[in-house]
Structure 1
Amino acid sequence: MQSRVIVLAGPSGAGKSRLAERTGLPVLRLDDFYKDGSDPTLPRLTEGANAGLVDWDHPDSWLPDDALATLSELCTSGYAEVPVYEIARNGRCGSHVVHLDGSPLFVAEGIFAQDIVAACEEAGLLAAAYCVTQRPVVTFWRRLTRDLRERRKPPLVLVRRGLALMRNQRVVVADAVAKGCRRTTPEQAFHDIERMRENATS
C-alpha cells in the first residue's frame, strides 16, 4: 500500500471541496461517480414541488463500486483514470488522470463519501474519515450561491432542493457519524489533517 485516504463526507455546501483544496493533498472527487442522467436506475423524488425529478441526493444516484475501485487503485499504484462529471449536463464529459506523486495521503470527498468508509477501513485504505458540517442556514446559503453560480439546475429547483436539504441536514450528519465519520467543522478537520500530514512525512 503506497497511500491511504482521508474521507470527507457531509452535507452538500458544508465546505468539503474547499477544505480538500486547502489541504494541498491530491483530491479524488467522488461526485464524479454519479450515474448519467439517462440511467433508468436513477431514483426519483416522490414528494414535494420537485416530485418526478431525479433525486441526486439519494445514494442510488451514484456508483460506489466504481469509486471504491478507483480509490483502491490510487492507494496501490499512485494514479488512476477518473471520470469528469458535469452536473449541469447530467453526465460524464471525459476523464482525467489523478496522480498522487508519491504523497502518502490523499483526500476523497463527496456527499456520499460516508458510504465507502467501512469498505476502506476493512481494506486497510483509510487514514481518517470526517463529516464536515456547519450551521444549516450557512450550508444552505453556500450551496445555493454555488449552484446558482455554476448553473447546475434551474433556480427554482435549486431553492426548493436547498430548503429540503436544510431541513434534512441533521439526518445526513447522523448517517455519516453512524457510518464511521467524525463530526467536525472545516477548520478543525484542516488542523487534524495538517498534523496527520506532518506525521506521515516525518
Structure 2
Amino acid sequence: MSDSPVNPVPILPARVVLLSGPSGSGKSSLAERIGLPVLQLDDFYKDGDDPTLPLLPDGSGAVDWDSPLSWHAEDAMAAIRLLAETGRAEVPVYSIPDNGRTGTRVLELAGAAAFVAEGIFAAEIAARCAAEGLLGDAICLRNRPLTTAWRRFRRDVREGRKSVPFLLRRGWRLMRAERGIVARQEALGAYACAGAEALRRVQAVAEVREPAAV
C-alpha cells in the first residue's frame, strides 16, 4: 500500500514593511543594511510631463514633488501585491534628474518572508496594505530636522538630482515642514522612530512566517 500523499502546508504571502520618513531621513541606507529585497517607491513617480502633476502653491509654476499627487499609488500597490503573492514583479526604473522612467527591472524575493517598500510616500498606502493582509509593519524614520536637511542636501548634490538653488529652496521648505511631515505619516499609520529601533522592527517581521489556515 502506497503512502498517502502529503498536502503541502500553504504559506502566507510575503509581508511588506513600509519604510517612510522625510526626504533625507536615511530610508535607503537603512533598507540596504536590512538585507531584505527592497522596492524603491520613488520609482513610481509620475513623469515630468504628466499634466496631473501638482504645482507648488507659491505661484512659481514648479512641480511639488513632495506631494503624494506626484506619485502613482495604484501602480505601487499593484507591484506590492504581485511581490507578496508571487514573489516577483516587473517594476519601473525612474531617473530623478531626468524626471521620468528610463526602463524596468525585475524584482524577485527569492523566498524571503518579507520585503521593504521605501519612499517618502510609503505611509500613504499603509491602510490599504493592512486591509489586504499584506502589511508587516509601517515605519517612519525620524531625526532632527537639521540632520535630515544636511543629509538630504549632500545626497541630492552628489546625485545631481536638481540644481543647487532648487535644492536650497526645497531644503529650507522641507526642514521647516519636517515635524508636520512626520505627524502626517504617523496619522496614516506609521510608527515614528530612529534607525536602530526601525531595524529591530523590520528584523522582527522578517523572522516570522506562519502557515496559512487550511
Aligned partner of 1:39 among 40, 50, 74: 50
Query: Which residue of structure 1 aligns with residue 93 of structure 2?
Result: 84
Task: Quote the residue 1:141 is aligned against.
Answer: 150
> If each structure's helix is expressed as a fraction of its own residues, which one has the higher value?
1
- Take 2:14 and 2:207, find their aligned partners in 1: how far apart are those partners? 14
What's the offset of the Cα at 1:200?
3.9
Deviation of 1:152 after TM superposition, in Å, equals 0.4
Percent of paired sites with the same residue? 52
CA distance in 2 between partners of 1:199 and 1:123 (Å): 18
Distance in 1, matches of 2:208 and 2:16, equals 15
Partner of 2:4: none
Q: Name 1:196's counterpart in structure 2.
A: 205
Q: Identify the match of residue 29 of structure 2 among 13, 18, 22.
A: 18
Q: Is the 8 A contact 2:44 2:94 kept in 1?
A: yes
> What corresponds to 2:174 in structure 1?
165
Q: Match for 2:130 among 93, 99, 121?
A: 121
Q: CA RMSD in A?
A: 1.2
Is 1:179 aligned with 2:179? no
3-state DSSP class of the match of 1:81?
Answer: strand
The 5-angstrom pairing of residues 54-65 of structure 1 reads: 54-65=63-74
- Number of residue equivalences: 199
SS of 1:168's partner is helix
Between the aligned partners of 1:126 and 1:2, the Cα distance in structure 2 is 10
Give the counterpart letter for 2:82 in structure 1: E
Matches of 1:127 and 1:61, distance apart in 2: 26
Q: CA deviation at 1:191?
A: 1.8
Aligned mates of 1:184, 1:99 — CA distance in 2:
28
Question: Which residue identity is paired with 2:16?
Answer: V
Instruction: Tell me how far 1:186 sits from its aligned partner.
Output: 1.1
Cα distance in 1 for residues equivalent to 2:65 and 2:208: 37
- CA displacement 1:48-82 (0-9 Å, x = unmatched): 7xx21111001100100000011001000000000
- Matches of 1:151 and 1:193, distance apart in 2: 31
Counterpart-to-counterpart distance in 2, 1:140 and 1:56? 16
In structure 2, give the amino acid aligned to 1:13: G
How far apart, CA to CA, are the structure 2 residues paired with 1:62 and 1:196?
27
- Match of 1:101? 110
- Find the residue that maps to 1:144 and give its secondary structure: helix
* Structure 2: gaps of 5 or more residues: 1-11
Q: Structure 1 residue 45: deviation in Å?
A: 1.1
| Contiguous gaps of at least 5 residues in structure 1 | none
TM-score scaled by structure 1?
0.96
The structure with the largest alpha-carbon Rg is: 2
